[in-house]
Amino acid sequence: MPDVRELATSKQFLRSSTENNYEIPAEIDSFAFARALLANLASTDEELRDELSYMFLASGIIDRHKLTVHQVAEFLHLVLDKDHLFYHIGEAGTDSVFMRSFSSLIVAGIIYTDSRNPALSPQDIHLAKDALLHYAQQEKDWRGYVEGKGWAHAMAHLADALDECAQHQSMSAGDRQEILKSLSNLIKLPEPLYHEEDMRLATVAYHIIACKQVSDDFLASWIANCYVERDSDVSVWMSASNAKNFLRSLYFLLFWDNMALNIADQISDILKKQDAVYLSSRN
């Protein structure tokens, strides 16, 4: 029987299987192969990590229901542990970010697939949501593209996972409020977010608003909390810039689809307040 660990690190095998519609030899156990592929998410080889291993896991195994419900639950718990989603959490500027970031993307794939035909327990979905919110508070490495190593993009991948959580049938209005509160903290980070993270984050809020999954009163309070009070600290100005980009993206998502225009108007008011320092100089 072939060694699954050798196959999982063979780019030639993975390329061939991908071109053959993610075909796995009959003698290979899909669950063992999935766990072997998971280790590749830490790789600095962009092709092995992203184009082959992640895509094989998401499209070739999870989406094609190659695992039993029990195995999916076990795999989800594995991905959420200290060696994957929380691998070397707190580090910044190191390669450990790849494992953390792509683990959250795997969580997104698991929850997306389950939402179409729910089989995981509500407890498992809530475990994932709680872990992602905890991870959002602890992650310190928000780089986008890393030269020579490819996309880290932890913020965008986290947004995708939070979006899938928010739209899962097991989530309540309270859960979605927690997710929106997390977004309002993420958009105020002092690190510049310039790799389209604003749109990925805004999409999470857009879906919750468009589907009327929280009250208008909560949304009014939440939008007001997205405002950043400027002072002389340059990092606060970066936070304000991140928040503005997020709010602009959310505004246009609502405007383009003619959705919740009363909420869009509130966003417009906050944006105008955010830029009052510039607007007042025109008078």
pTM: 0.96
Min mean pLDDT across 18-27, 80-89, 214-223 is at 18-27
Quote the CA–CA distance of 242 and 46 in Å, as a whole number: 27
- 137 and 208 in a common domain: no
**Does residue 232 register a pLDDT over 90?**
no
Please state the rounded mean pLDDT for residues 139-153.
Answer: 97
Residues 6 and 121 reside in one and the same domain: yes
Shared domain check, 3 and 69: yes
Q: What is the pLDDT of residues 182-212, one digit of tens each?
A: 999 999 999 889 899 999 999 999 999 999 9
157 vs 252: CA distance, rounded Å = 22
Query: Looking at residue 1, what is its pLDDT?
Result: 60
Number of domains composing the chain: 2
Same domain (yes/no): 207, 156 = no
In this structure, the answer to whether residues 152 and 219 fall within a common structural domain is: no
Q: Could you tell me the two tokens for 179?
A: 């997710």
Residues 267 and 153 in one domain: no
197-219 burial string, b = 16+ CB within 10 Å, else e? bbbbbbbbbbbbbeeebbeeeeb
Write down the pLDDT at residue 231: 85
Residues 42 and 164 in one domain: yes
Residues 219 and 274 occupy one common structural domain: yes
Q: Which domain holds residue 135?
A: 1-171
Distance separating alpha carbons of residues 97 and 44, to the nearest angstrom = 10
pLDDT of the residue at 245: 97
187 in Cβ contact with 204 (< 8 Å): no
Shared-domain flag, residues 152 and 202: no
Q: Which of 143, 268, 267, 270 is nearest to 194 (CA)?
A: 143
Out of 171, 203, 228, a domain closes at 171
